[in-house]
Amino acid sequence: MYMVEKALREDESMLELKGVTIDFGGLRALDGVDLNICQGEIFGIIGPNGSGKSTLFNIATGFLVPRSGQVAYRGRSITGWKPHRIAALGIGRVFQSNSLFPNFSVKENLIRSGFMRLTTGFLGSFFNTRRFRSENRELEEKAVELSRFVGLEERVDTLAKNLPYGEQRRLEIAIALGPDPDLLFLDEPVTGMNPTETASVMELIRSIQKGGRTIVIVEHNMRVIMGICSRIAVISFGTKIAEGNPEEIAHNDKVISVYLGTRKIDAAY
């Protein structure tokens, strides 16, 4: 079975942000943000557009360096680390857009996602050693398994750029799972999907979490957030204005005022 049970301590802090601050030119994008994400939970981050959510992701995954503050993964400081080193620690990510290799087939995309598992270098390829061949076979098998997990098994040889939007997003999630991350960042995974697709992605996310992974998700779709997250943080204009479980957030005055009528949205659903 692909989803190995994670032997991690319950309630271990997976990701901790302390006082993270960053400026873009004259604009303070994030101001002293604190976050603590625990093992095994699905943590949601919401907030109006431009409030700094994607910036947070970029800092946590190493694409941006904060002006001050620290980022720690499982107690280890990763502030200022380059993205590929952070990825090697077990952090995965799905971008808001452009998160796959468009000119490769689904299978080739997923094969590449297992890159970090390869150990044979060029010499192995040059002499076509047994280890080289077996590693490549493993990579292919895992790629097919991943495609099965997200329901893309039929489309394994289609070019990624030719997939319909919903399947592309699912492929992106599969790619992010390739390196077997313990912590997964999802940036607006259901944006632009119809209710059926949204529901299936929600199921997917839940089954990812059941495998023992921790998930941080940024979304605008309140139903999704309220539905699958165990805890939520609300960011507005670069500061965290609220944090708690869905119930607390839905009735938090500050949050409501920021969204100008969260109640109405809840009622509609």
Partner 1 sequence: MRYKYVIFVLLLALAVVAPVVVDNEYFTHVLVLTYIFAIFALSYDLVIGGMGQISLGQQAFLGVGAYVSAILSSKLGVPVWLCLFAAVFAAGAVGLFIGCVSLRIRGAYLAIVTLGFAMILWMIAMGWRAVTNGQMGIREIPPLVIGLPFLPRIEFDSPGKYYYLALVFLLFTIYFISRLMKSRLGMAITALRENEDRSAILGIGAFVHFLSAFTISAALAGFAGFAYVHYIAFVDPKILSQYYMITGLIMVIVGGTTTIGGPIVGALIFFFLPEWLRIAQEARLILFGAMLLIFNTLMPQGIYPASLALRRFVLERGWRRQQ
Whole-angstrom distance, CA of residue 43 vs CA of residue 244? 10
Give the footprint of partner 1 on residues 57-86 (CB under 8 A). 61-63, 82-85
CB of 129 to partner 1, least distance (A): 11
Q: Is residue 156 near partner 1 by the rule CB under 8 A?
A: no
What are the start-end ranges of the H helices in the chain?
A: 53-60, 83-89, 106-113, 122-126, 130-149, 165-177, 195-210, 222-228, 246-250, 253-259, 262-268
Q: For residues 73 and 101, which CB has a smaller minimum distance to partner 1 in the complex?
A: 101
User: If binding is defined by CB under 8 A, does position 232 make contact with partner 1?
Assistant: no
Report the C-alpha gap between 57 and 70 in whole angstroms.
Answer: 14
* Binds partner 1 by CB under 8 A, chosen from 69, 178, 189, 238: 178
Q: Provide the token pair at 110.
A: 């997923």
Cβ 264 to partner 1 shortest distance, Å: 37
CB neighbourhood size of 170 (10 A): 24
List Cα–Cα distances, 62 to 22, 38, 116, 216, in angstroms: 13, 20, 17, 15
Nearer to partner 1, 124 or 212 (CB): 124
> Are 43 and 232 in contact, with CB atoms under 8 Å apart?
yes
CA gap 76, 233 in Å, rounded: 22
Q: Which is nearer to partner 1, 132 or 149 (CB)?
A: 132
Q: Find residue 217's DSSP bridge partners.
A: 44, 186
Name which of 152 and 176 has its Cβ closer to partner 1: 176
**Is residue 225 within 8 Å of 44, Cβ to Cβ?**
yes
Among 34-42, 100-108, 188-196, 226-234, the segment contacting partner 1 (CB under 8 A): 100-108
Say if CB 217 and CB 183 are below 8 A apart. Answer: no
Q: Is 148 in the site for partner 1 (CB under 8 A)?
A: no
Based on CB atoms, which residue is closest to partner 1, 113 or 214?
Answer: 113
Per CB under 8 A, does 104 bind partner 1? yes
- Nearest approach in angstroms of CB 108 to partner 1 is 9
Position among 179, 212, 227, 244 found at the interface with partner 1 (CB under 8 A): 179
Among 54, 113, 214, 221, binds partner 1 (CB under 8 A): 113
Instruction: Give the x/- contact pattern for partner 1 in 205-224, rule: CB under 8 A.
Output: --------------------
> Which DSSP state fits 130?
H
CB of 164 to partner 1, least distance (A): 19
d(CA 172, CA 169): 5
Q: Binding residue for partner 1 (CB under 8 A) from 27, 115, 141, 210?
A: 115
**Type of residue numbered 215:** I
Nearer to partner 1, 91 or 226 (CB): 91
The CA distance from 266 to 268, in Å, is 5
Q: Check: CB of residue 53 under 8 Å from CB of residue 235.
A: yes
* Tokens of residue 165, six digits: 């939007």
Chain residues in the site for partner 1 (CB under 8 A):
61-63, 82-85, 87-88, 92-93, 95, 98-104, 111-113, 115-116, 118, 120-122, 124-126, 128, 132, 136, 175-176, 178-179
